[in-house]
Structure 1
Amino acid sequence: MSFHKLPADFRQKIHDYYEHRYQGKMFDEESILEELNEPLREEIVNFNCRKLVASMPLFANADPNFVTAMLTKLRFEVFQPGDYIIREGTIGKKMYFIQHGVVSVLTKGSIGMKLMDGSYFGGCCSSVAI
C-alpha cells in the first residue's frame, strides 16, 4: 500500500478492515463453502445464520425451505466505525442483518436510533452509519 502513496490513516483503515473481516482467520470461508456439497452447505448456513433472521416477521412463519434458500444468498460484509452503509433517500437493494456491533440511524444528520445485534434494516431509509 505504501507504493501507492496512500496516507497513513487510509492504510490504517484498510488494516483495521482486514483485521475485523478475517478476525485472525487465514482462509477464505466462502471458497471452502463453495467446495462443499449443497446439503452440507445448507446445514452450515442454517446453523450460522438462522438466529439472524428468526426475529423477522417475513421469516417467522415461512416455509423452512424458503428460509434456507434466502440464507444461502446472504453475504458477509464488515463495516468500520464511521462508515455509511446506506444514505438517506437511497433506494436500497440490500437487506442488512447485524450479527455483531452497533449501527446508528441518522435522520438529517442526527442520531435517530441505534440498532444492535439481531437487528435488521434495508430498503429506502435514513442514513445508517456505524
Structure 2
Amino acid sequence: MVLSSNTPSTKYESIMSELSEYMRHRQLPIALQHRLVEYYAHRFRKTYFRESAILPILSDRLQSEIKLHCYTALVESVSILQDLPENLVNLIVSHLKSEIYLPNDIIIKAGTDGDCMYFIASGTVAVSTPTGREVCHLQDGAYFGEVALIKKDHKRIANVVAIEICKVYKLESKIFKMCLAEQPDTFKKLEKICQDRFNRTNFLEELHKKHILEKSLARKHDTD
C-alpha cells in the first residue's frame, strides 16, 4: 500500500484533487477551471514526476544525452537547427525551456520587447498584424519571435496566439546571439527570412489599416 501510494499516477491524482480544492476555494469561474484542468492534463499526461529533481543529480553528459534524445524530433523538423554544427545544437538544446499554451492564449503581443524566440514542438499558432490582420498559421517544426532578436529596436512585429494546445520551446536572446555569432552564413539566411516576414507583415498591416479607414469613412458618410 505504501509503495502504490507513491506511484506517478497516484501522485497525479493527488495533485488534481488538490487543484480541485484550490479552484473550489477560490471560486474560480467554470470556464477557467476547465482551462486549468486541461493544462494539467496536457502538462503531466496523467502521471507525475519532478524532472527538476531528477536531472540535477546526473552528470552533464547524461543530461545532454537525455535532452538530445527528447528534442530529436524538434531538431529534425526545424530547418535552421539542421544548418548548425553539433556543438551549437547541443548548446541550444541544453538551454531550451518548454512552455504549454492553451487555445486563445497570447504567446507574443505586437509592440512589446522581444527577448526570446520560440520553436513549435506541437500545435498550431496564428500570426497576425498589430491591428488584427491574419498573416499565417505556423505548425510543428516552425519557429517565431526571431525578428525581434535581429531588429535593432527588439520590438515584436506581430501577435502570435495559440489556436490549439501548443507545446513550444523558448530560447533566450543571449543564447540565440551567441550561437549565430559563430555561424555568419546561418545568420544571413535567417536575416533574409526575418526581412521577408517583416515586409509581409508590414504590407498586410498597411492594407488592413486602409481597409479599417475606408470602413470608418463609409459609416461616417452613411450617418451624415
TM-score (norm 2): 0.53
Q: Which amino acid aligns with 2:132?
A: G
Q: Which amino acid aligns with 2:109?
A: R
Any stretches of 5+ residues in structure 1 without a counterpart? none
- 1:68 maps onto 2:84 in alignment: no
Instruction: Please name the residue that 1:10 is paired with.
Output: 32
Q: Deviations over 1:46-81 (max 9, x none)?
A: 122144244343x33333122211111111110000
Aligned partners of 2:88 and 2:50: how far apart in 1?
26
Aligned partners of 2:86 and 2:141: how far apart in 1?
19
Instruction: Please name the residue that 1:129 is paired with.
Output: 161
| Identity fraction in percent | 34
| Larger relative contact order, structure 1 or 2 (CA cutoff 8 Å, min sep 6) | 1
- 1:116 maps onto 2:157 in alignment: no
TM-score (norm 1): 0.88
Aligned partners of 1:13 and 1:60: how far apart in 2?
35
**Which of structures 1 and 2 has the bigger CA Rg?**
2
Aligned partners of 2:134 and 2:53: how far apart in 1?
38
- Indicate the SS of the match to 2:100: coil
Any stretches of 5+ residues in structure 2 without a counterpart? 1-22, 149-155, 163-224
- Runs of 4+ in structure 1 deviating by more than 4 angstroms, as ranges, are none
* Greater helix share, structure number: 2
